[in-house]
Chain A
């Protein structure tokens, strides 16, 4: 496994390997994924989006 050096996923990219053309999240994007306050807001938004799709599907 590659050393991270605070660059998160970037150091896992292999030049001209099968993951060379993808995007990787930076430290802020990764922090936001488990930030409780932000995720509590996302929880509400995702639930609303899911309820809309569930209602359209019944």
Chain B
């Protein structure tokens, strides 16, 4: 009997674990280690953050789902990996620390034959003074990164709406809280959902709404922007984004590194080197992501974390990490199998794999401050990668260690994305987009880097309907309800 250990139960890890359990059957063991007791459909957190959904609408208990799937579920956080075993344990193992109520702090070594690292990110609030600390979110801003954060954000938003109803103007500042953030899309959704809600509350004229982001241009989204086919033109996402911001009367500031957060204001530095301060009454700033801080030790017990993990804490895979300057970047830099180059039985998927470099062109201020979106690895790509990695591991277990690996490069993979701009069955809108491929390939598609036959976008009620249907569809799938394997990632 072989044992596969999956670290993390988010979109990517959950996909990998559930497909592996289905393909392997009861002859082999799948273990999931995740510190969370609930699964969270994170894309809908923005609706929790404006009070349009509850925490219960976007989460469910993992234990009964894993029991149904025959998965050995350990509610714990991974602390370290010993890929060569140790002097006392022959097989490789992961050291975990339980978070399960009643077993908090209890440590265990979990041996594995194959390991998939899908831990997702650490929300690195501590990277920006005042945004938070090692314990998480600070007191000056809100977040929609977790369901609990979003519940808090909705409550703070309610207070602002009450103040506006009482005649007090409110300033909303939404965007990224550091020069090296990703997930601009989530902030984009949140700012327009706030605009939609304050309009519904009849206080839009009392709200000043502003976007602050590390993108070098509006519509970059961490993927270097995209050109969409529209009315016979290949139109830049910059045009679409600026149009929407103008139409909804939302001001913006881009190329910004938030350097400090205080009560009611942020300090920032721009790409041109200038600095300034922006005030707010309500602010949601996405934190930068980092690896979760897993350590690695060799058989002798020596620290070898830097061999297994990149400096940002994400696991090294089959990517080209020495591509150098932007001019040298190729689509082939991006990983295909997500297998660790040193340990063939270790894989990574979702945010946990170390990308070779950003997708957007790296930029920095004259002071040397890097202000560049880091590459997104969430949503559809993370689900596909999770499934592909599980497929590779299952083949190795069932067909032998020589079985060929399955591939899913983000430079050869498309993505469908729906970004909400306001919720309502007849009044809601969302930007529905497809992009192919996610990572631009300027050799294959000169100019835009993408195939404009398969890259499009439009905003409207239809997009909102799709987003709402996907909410129910993916939760249905994650619960392993009948026919779940028929629903694509």
Contacts and interface: CB of A to CB of B under 8 A. Distances in A.
Q: Do chains A and B stick together as partners?
A: yes
Majority DSSP secondary structure for residues of B touching A: mixed
Contacts of B447: none
B436 A53 contact: yes
Contact of A56 (B242, B252, B414): B414
A36 to B, nearest CB: 7
Interface of A: 1-2, 8-9, 12-13, 18-19, 21-25, 30, 32-36, 39-40, 42-43, 46-47, 49-50, 52-54, 56-58
A9 B245 CA distance: 9
Contacts of A54: 380, 414, 416, 488
Given A1-B204, A42-B458, A46-B466, 7 more contacts: A19-B245, A30-B247, A43-B465, A46-B432, A50-B416, A54-B416, A56-B436
B462 A46 contact: yes
Given A22-B242, A56-B436, A49 B460 contact: no
22 contacts: A8-B247, A9-B248, A12-B246, A12-B247, A22-B246, A23-B243, A24-B247, A25-B243, A33-B459, A36-B426, A39-B461, A39-B462, A39-B465, A43-B462, A46-B463, A50-B416, A50-B432, A50-B466, A53-B414, A57-B380, A57-B413, A57-B415
Interface residues of B, number: 37
B370 to A, nearest CB: 23
Interface of B: 204-205, 239, 242-243, 245-249, 251-252, 380, 384, 413-416, 426-427, 429, 432, 434-436, 454, 456, 458-463, 465-466, 488-489
Contacts of B248: 9
Majority DSSP secondary structure for residues of A touching B: helix
A5 B460 CA distance: 23
A39 B460 contact: yes
Given A9-B247, A33-B460, A46-B458, A53 B465 contact: no
A52 B432 contact: no
